[in-house]
């Protein structure tokens, strides 16, 4: 069944974390399957390092997610801009502090890096920004893989026709920049995203008693600080509201002058 696969086909399968099975191994697995009472069996050789990298980048197939634990927060390895080790919120934070040309360069390197990974090239520098995806050797399978990787890296829901609608790394970069739009990511959304990452990391752990006590103590300290801050804000808001309700016109104008730095008009 696999005798007609080209080297690039075999390389693509290996990049997905699946190792080849020899004829001898396949026959041995078949004999073993006949001795079981299970209705469904799936013989696979899995590359755990590749699967862990996919889990860290969010590109691990759903079927395999129960086999690979979620990455612990702060334990992802760093790579080049297209290595898929940075989550979408990390990308947004990096873009926020860059100028327009710098943003374009960062997103372009991200795209070129993922293109290089999908095609099996050693680095993003082998991918020319203006070169058409067709000329680079993309087909329907690699197009879907690139879409999935970029979706995980950017947090965007990208169309299946992404590569065909934007047929070069440069064109795809322009599209992604307009879709990411970092100025519209507010603080609440960013904090909630960080809490999601923390929750995933926390429940992926198997801590001992000492680690459990340390983590619990830190969580309780953070919650106590948050609760004190909220109570203080509520108290201050009630005090200001009470003062304004019972203040004269002159006192209201004086409050505006001192609080906002503006003179009120009577």
Q: What is the CATH superfamily name and number for domain 88-187?
A: ACP-like (1.10.1200.10)
- Tokens (6 digits) for 256: 């505006």
Q: How far apart are CA 100 and CA 107, in angstroms?
A: 11
Q: Is the model's pLDDT at 30 over the cut of 80?
A: yes
68/123: higher pLDDT = 123
Across 52-63, average pLDDT: 74
Q: What is the pLDDT of residue 266?
A: 43
The rounded mean pLDDT for the chain is 79
Residues facing residue 45 across a β-bridge: 19
Place of tokens 């095609």: 119
For residue 18, the cross-strand partners are 46
Whether the full predicted model's pTM is greater than 0.75, yes or no, is no
Structure token pair of residue 109: 């390197």
Q: How confident is the model at residue 111 (pLDDT cuts 50, 70, 90)?
A: very high
Q: How far apart are CA 66 and CA 64, in angstroms?
A: 6
* pLDDT mean over 112-130: 90
Q: Which of 74-78, 210-214, 244-248 has the highest mean pLDDT?
A: 210-214
DSSP 8-state symbol, 191: H
Q: Structural domain boundaries of the chain?
A: 7-64, 88-187, 209-266
Does pLDDT of 261 surpass 70? no
52 in Cβ contact with 85 (< 8 Å): no
CA contacts within 13 A on the Cβ side of 260: 9
């Amino acid at each position: 069944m696999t005798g007609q696969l080209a080297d690039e086909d075999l390389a693509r399968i290996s990049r997905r974390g699946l190792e080849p099975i020899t004829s001898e191994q396949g026959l041995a697995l078949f004999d073993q399957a006949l001795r079981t009472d299970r209705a469904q069996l799936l013989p696979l050789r899995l590359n755990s390092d590749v699967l862990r990298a996919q889990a860290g980048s969010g590109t691990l197939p759903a079927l395999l997610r129960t086999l690979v634990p979620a990455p612990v927060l702060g334990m992802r390895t760093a790579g080049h801009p297209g290595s898929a080790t940075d989550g979408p919120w990390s990308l947004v934070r990096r873009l926020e502090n860059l100028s327009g040309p710098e943003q374009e360069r960062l997103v372009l390197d991200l795209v070129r890096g993922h293109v290089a990974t999908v095609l099996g090239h050693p680095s993003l520098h082998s991918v020319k920004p203006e070169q058409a995806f067709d000329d680079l050797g993309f087909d329907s399978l690699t197009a879907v893989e690139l879409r999935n990787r970029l979706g995980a890296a950017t947090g965007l829901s990208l169309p299946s026709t992404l590569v065909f609608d934007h047929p070069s790394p440069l064109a795809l970069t322009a599209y992604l920049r307009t879709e990411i739009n970092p100025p519209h990511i507010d603080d609440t959304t960013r904090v909630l995203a960080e809490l999601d990452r923390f929750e995933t990391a926390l429940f992926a752990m198997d801590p001992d008693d000492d680690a459990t006590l340390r983590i619990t103590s830190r969580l309780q300290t953070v919650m106590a600080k948050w609760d004190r801050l909220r109570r203080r804000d509520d108290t201050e808001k009630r005090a200001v509201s009470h003062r304004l309700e019972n203040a004269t016109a002159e006192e209201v104008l004086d409050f505006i002058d001192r609080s906002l730095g503006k003179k009120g008009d009577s």
